Amino acid sequence: MKDDAVAREGAIVAISRFAIAHEATLSGGEPDRFLLTPIRRLLPMVHALQAWRGANRGFALCQGAVRRIRQRTAGPPAGAFITHIRNREVNVMETWTRRVAFACAGAVLAALALTVSTGAARAGGNPQAPDFRVDPSWPKPLPHKWLMGQVGGIAVDRHDHIWVVQRPRTLTSDEAGATDWVAVICSDGSEPVGGVCPAGTSLDMKVDSYGHPRPDGPLADCCYPAPPVLEFDRDGNLLGAWAGEGLHDPDPRWNWPAPNCVLPDCEWPAGEHGIYVDENNNVYVAGNGNGNGSRASNFNDRGGDGQVLKFAADGTFLMEVGKAGGACPNSNDTGSGMNGTPQLCRPADTEVDLAANELYVADGYSNHRVVVVDADTGMYKRRFGAYGQNPVSDAPSGPYAADRDGGVIPANFRNPVHCVHLTHDGLLYVCDRVNDRIQVFDKMTVGATCSNPGQAPGVCGFVGEKFINAETLLNGSVWDLDNSQDKDQTCLYNPDGSNEWVDIIHRASLDVVAKFGTQGRNAGQFHWVHNLAVDSRGDIYTAEVDTGKRAQRFVLHHGPKGCKTNKGHGEHHGNDGDHGDKGHHGHG
């Protein structure tokens, strides 16, 4: 039924717009003009559709044109038509009738093709959710032959500027084909020590700044790695870029700006992961990599990332929370990081509660907690794990599949704790990615010393939870969260980087009411969709890692700006039944 609904909607819109575009012809103009209209022009028209607008008028034009043709074939032609159809009156008019029908059918097929290509299928047959269409022109090509690597985070600021943190070191040698050699290393790939290579090797391998072999110079005309932080406007134009720590062996041909993160005060992460911009235009960058000292890691030898960095919008460094290379996991640490801040362990995501001046950190790929610090000083304020537990357990959890198949509700967050997201009503949403679930907390009560072994809502600030696409293994199903821009923020959007779609979730019930996207390389498809962010108009921006290596924009196409269902508002439903009858219900 849901496919039928999508088909009907696409057909109505396509026929409407096609008919209106050819109104003069369909209303009785010269038939040859219509006969010569190439069918291939239909698809661009469909791309420009405005849903439902003029649908009835469009159907009337199509039907009226066919009716008039048949009426004309019933009697002798007159006027200008005598010359035009002499000796073939009936055949011409029947052909025109068939062409009108064929063209309208072509418009329908084009609309359905567009629907399939963007993955804009509504889940559960629910027409009361926002509908999105990919903008294949976003972003614009980067200058200086720059190319993005894995996009580890994306954010939107209060000016509707889109911020991307990406991983330049993840470009392959051929993707960075324009780079030239800047250093000579040992033939086994090791770095010379005091100009001397290991026995049996020679100092003769030419490499670029990231260690890609360049024995004979550049491989191709394009490209160079882009700097790690990029700022775009809504139209996709690049507004600015940051170099982070820059390059150990810089190459001026890359056209990178000067470094804005300088040791020892600022430790740029080995693996850029997550970016957030607060209402004061401060920018936060986290990291989940491992600095092993190699040229490929830009000679970062600090070990595992354990820090969140804060910058002004112009790139000025302001603060580091945690530090690289700390002992992990330690989900109960409160002050062994930089300047007495809590030690983080490969943090994944951040968000700021401006009214309380607090920074929430999803911590992360090694720790099993959310930690809250002062947004100006980085000093510890509180922490919590699954179900609001504090102290937080770092006990190994084993594979998710064992819990799923055994009907066990996981007692702890699994790694990674991948996102935190605040809504205007004081609720805090946490992405427990590999456990395929969202947990919801009351920001005013969570974080105190508390135990909740019964996993009960209303205890320890825990409000409720929901498993999303709970059969998912791979890397889990709940990767990031942002909300719709309607007054009540009725939708949550979740990029599922395992199933390769974006879930549209009714926030009150946590039911998935729609989704868009599918696995693939075309515009509107995904490979490891990792993060998303929403601008003030309700458009969604997505980021892809692994070999996806891109950002995309999805425009709010038509329908409501939020999620409208029959569920009772304010109720957070628990498990969806895939784990037995241990459902949790809470009220926020």
Q: Are residues 453 and 393 in the same domain?
A: yes
Q: From CA 437, how far away is CA 439, in angstroms rounded?
A: 6
Q: What is the pLDDT of residue 487?
A: 95
Q: Kind of pairing, strands 307-311 and 283-287?
A: antiparallel
In a domain, 31, yes or no: yes
Q: Are residues 112 and 140 in the same domain?
A: no
Tokens read off for 64: 């009226």
Q: Are residues 382 and 519 in the same domain?
A: yes
Q: Are residues 566 and 460 in the same domain?
A: yes
- Check which CATH number belongs to the domain holding 483 and give it: 2.120.10.30
Q: Are residues 435 and 510 in the same domain?
A: yes
Q: Are residues 138 and 114 in the same domain?
A: no
In a domain, 171, yes or no: no
Q: What is the pLDDT of residue 564?
A: 85
Q: Are residues 138 and 189 in the same domain?
A: no
Q: What is the pLDDT of residue 482?
A: 98
Q: Are 419 and 440 in contact (CB under 8 A)?
A: no
In a domain, 348, yes or no: yes
Q: What is the pLDDT of residue 558?
A: 79
In a domain, 240, yes or no: no
Q: Are residues 280 and 358 in the same domain?
A: yes
Predicted confidence pLDDT, tens digits, the chain (588 residues): 444 444 444 544 455 455 445 544 444 444 333 333 433 344 344 344 333 333 344 445 555 554 554 454 444 444 443 333 334 444 444 454 455 555 554 544 444 444 434 444 444 445 689 999 999 999 999 999 999 999 999 999 999 999 999 999 999 999 999 999 999 999 999 999 999 999 999 999 999 999 999 999 999 999 999 999 999 999 999 999 999 999 999 999 999 999 999 999 999 999 999 999 999 999 999 999 999 999 999 999 999 999 999 999 999 999 999 999 999 999 999 999 999 999 999 999 999 999 999 999 999 999 999 999 999 999 999 999 999 999 999 999 899 999 999 999 999 999 999 999 999 999 999 999 999 999 999 999 999 999 999 999 999 999 999 999 999 999 999 999 999 999 999 999 999 999 999 999 999 999 999 999 999 999 999 999 999 999 999 999 999 999 999 999 999 987 789 998 654 433 444 444 334 333 332 323
Q: Among 133, 63, 74, which residue's Cα sits nearest to residue 100? A: 63
DSSP string across 281-337: --EEEEE--EE-S-GGGTT--SEE--EEEEE-TT--EEEEEE-TT--S--TT--S-S
In a domain, 163, yes or no: no
Q: Are residues 90 and 137 in the same domain?
A: no
In a domain, 10, yes or no: yes
Residue 191 DSSP SS3: coil
Q: Are residues 57 and 86 in the same domain?
A: yes
Q: What is the pLDDT of residue 456?
A: 97
Q: What is the pLDDT of residue 21?
A: 52
In a domain, 239, yes or no: no
> Which residue range(s) make up the domain with 29?
2-118
Q: Are residues 284 and 373 in the same domain?
A: yes
The beta-strand segments (E) located in 208-289 are 224-225, 229-232, 238-242, 272-277, 283-287
In a domain, 158, yes or no: no
**Total tally of structural domains belonging to the chain:** 3
Q: What is the pTM of this model?
A: 0.79
Q: Are residues 105 and 138 in the same domain?
A: no
